[in-house]
Amino acid sequence: MARVLITGAAGFLGSHLCDRFIAEGFDVVGMDNLITGDLKNIEHLFKLKQFEFYEHDVSKFIHVPGKLDYILHFASPASPIDYLKIPIQTLKVGSLGTHNCLGLALEKGARILVASTSEVYGDPHVHPQTEEYWGNVNPVGPRGVYDEAKRFQEAMTMAYHTFHGLETRIVRIFNTYGPRMRLNDGRVLPAFIGQALRGEDLTVFGDGSQTRSFCYVDDLVEGIYRLLMSDYAQPVNVGNPDEITIGDFAEEIIKLTGTNQKVIYKDLPKDDPTQRQPDITKAREILGWEPKFSRAEGLKLTYEYFKSLPEDELYKKEH
Ligand code: NAD
Ligand code: UDP
């Protein structure tokens, strides 16, 4: 039985990855310090003998007894309000946490995949973003703590690949959404749906002309699974190229929820990227992957999840 360590297992993406690897017949070791995650996301796995969980900060030395065939390093705050609140931990988990995971992979002879991000492209001058583009990041701006941690993560991972011959994979994830996002994590989709469900106006930052391209979580997980099983060590974009302005996205959420809320405009956060769309030619050609869920389908499934939550979740303050 192959055994995989998933860091960030109690988070949004980590928990879906745990489900997928369990379904594929793997033994799964989840690890998380619960700083932005929630055990509720994986509580259904605790009864399974194929699943173990360690509560641990991966920025500190990691010890996992027994063999490991694969490591997926997903631990890191991911939403702007999370990483602005804990900037040093964010830098540490991308750098020290990645170093610890790479060292563990070397010790165990495991293949490792690290979760990078479209944020390595910063506020991009190339559109759509190809993997060859080096990016436009402000290292000392507020988002620098996340973007530079991830850029360092990629550099460190590539160094282990070229210097130690470690089997490494790097996925550059574009905005992904779905069930188990935290309603109060500040990301645009849970923010808008939470506002609609509470009967509040939707807060569009700036004039709403900035764009994002949203990928449903099941599509992302499939892309990650294929990348891990491929033999390709260079970074690969995984995301849905269907681009939309945030203003239009707010209108879509208002229609979806049938709430007739208004849109109100707030200041655009500093260094907020003006446009973002993945070029997924590599994922198509190398992994035979492309997204299957339209935004309409994915949003419907996500809205059903948020509607099914107990009402007090709607009024929970930030983590
Ligand atoms: P999330 O906040 O839901 O999950 C992150 C998990 O990591 C949480 O459970 C948190 O408690 C855990 N964690 C954070 N620091 C840790 C540490 N030092 N030790 C152990 N556990 C720690 O976020 P997510 O959206 O699931 O993101 C997961 C990964 O994917 C992150 O690395 C993020 O950078 C990357 N990513 C996500 C997106 C997206 O759209 N969701 C986009 C690009 C990249
Ligand atoms: N955004 C917004 N209103 C909100 C939350 C976010 O208009 O209540 C905007 C934000 O400024 C950004 C986009 O939505 O332009 C996506 O933000 P998110 O935090 O989800 O992701 P990221 O900026 O990291 O891509």
Residue 318 has pLDDT above 80, yes or no: no
Ligand 2 pocket check for 204: Cβ under 6 Å:
yes
Q: Which of 57, 76, 153, 188 to mutate to test the pocket of ligand 1 (most atoms within 8 A of CB)?
A: 76
Determine which one of 83, 146, 225, 303 is catalytic: 146
ipTM greater than cut 0.85:
yes
What span, in angstroms and rounded, lies between the C-alpha atoms of 8 and 23?
18
Residue 111 has pLDDT above 90, yes or no: yes
Ligand 2 pocket check for 290: Cβ under 6 Å:
no
Ligand 2 pocket check for 114: Cβ under 6 Å:
no
295-308 vs 246-257: helix axis angle to the nearest 10?
60
Residues 65-70 have a mean pLDDT of 98
Three-class DSSP category at 237: strand
Q: Which amino acid is at 123?
A: D
User: Which ligand sits closest to the CA of 84?
Assistant: 2
Instruction: Tell me the pairing of strands 243-245 and 211-213.
Output: antiparallel
| 225 among known catalytic residues | no
Q: What is the pLDDT of residue 67?
A: 98
Task: Using pLDDT thresholds of 50, 70 and 90, give the confidence band for residue 311.
Answer: confident
Residue 89 has pLDDT above 90, yes or no: yes
Residues 6+ apart with CB under 8 A from 150: 76, 94, 116, 117, 119, 120
Q: What is the pLDDT of residue 296?
A: 97
What span, in angstroms and rounded, lies between the C-alpha atoms of 276 and 281?
16
Closest CA to ligand 1's atom 23: 78
Instruction: Tell me the pairing of strands 202-205 and 176-177.
Output: unpaired
The average confidence (pLDDT) of the chain is: 97
Q: What is the pLDDT of residue 146?
A: 98
Give 212-257 pLDDT, tens digit per residue. Answer: 999 999 999 999 999 999 999 999 999 999 999 999 999 999 999 9
Residue 239 DSSP symbol: S
Ligand 2 pocket check for 187: Cβ under 6 Å:
yes
Task: Using pLDDT thresholds of 50, 70 and 90, give the confidence band for residue 317.
Answer: confident
Ligand 1 pocket check for 72: Cβ under 6 Å:
no
Give 75-86 pLDDT, tens digit per residue. Answer: 999 999 999 999
Three-class DSSP category at 74: coil
Torsion angle (degrees, nearest 10) of CA 160, 163, 166, 167 = 90
Task: Using pLDDT thresholds of 50, 70 and 90, give the confidence band for residue 53.
Answer: very high
